[in-house]
Every structure is written in structure tokens, then in C-alpha cells.
Amino acid sequence: MKLVCADGVGSLGDYLEDALDPVQRGAIDAHLAGCARCLAFVKSYRATPRILREATLATMPDGLDRCLLGFLRDRIRPRS
């Protein structure tokens, strides 16, 4: 079973949870061994929960939340 990059995207969650059958897993492993772009994508996908946990630990300086909300409201407001 030979894969192209797009083939593995739908199976990525199952791949990372080790929920694929051995043939599917082997095909993805083989593809990752020869595709630096997909390997980097898998590494970033694995790192996402850690990045989100670390981001939620950061606190905003006083007033930044109001400034950010105002900026976003201005951006989504329909222009006439």
C-alpha cells in the first residue's frame, strides 16, 4: 500500500492513537520515512496539546483583553 501526502491526513488521529491496523500503520510509517514535510506535520500535530497548555498559562497584561476585543470587533463589523 503506497500513500501520497493527502492519504494520511484523514487517518492521522488514528495513527497517533495507535488505532490503525498494521498494514495501514506500516504504509504511513513508510511514507513518513521518506517525506520530510509529512514528518514535520506529524511532529507539529503531536506538539499541539503541549503548545495549547503552555499558551493557557500565559496571562495578558492589564487592558490588553479590551484592546484585542475592540480590534476584533472592528475587523468583523460589516463595512458600508
- Kindly write down the DSSP assignment for every residue of 23-62, as one continuous string: HHHHHHHHHHHH-HHHHHHHHHHHHHHHHHHHHHH--PPT
pTM, whole model, 2 decimals? 0.61
Domain boundaries, the chain: 5-76
How confident is the model over 59-72, as pLDDT tens digits?
Answer: 889 999 999 999 99
Q: What is the pLDDT of residue 67?
A: 94
Judged against a pLDDT cut of 90, whether residue 21 lies above it is answered with yes
CA dihedral 26, 30, 35, 41 (to 10 degrees): 20
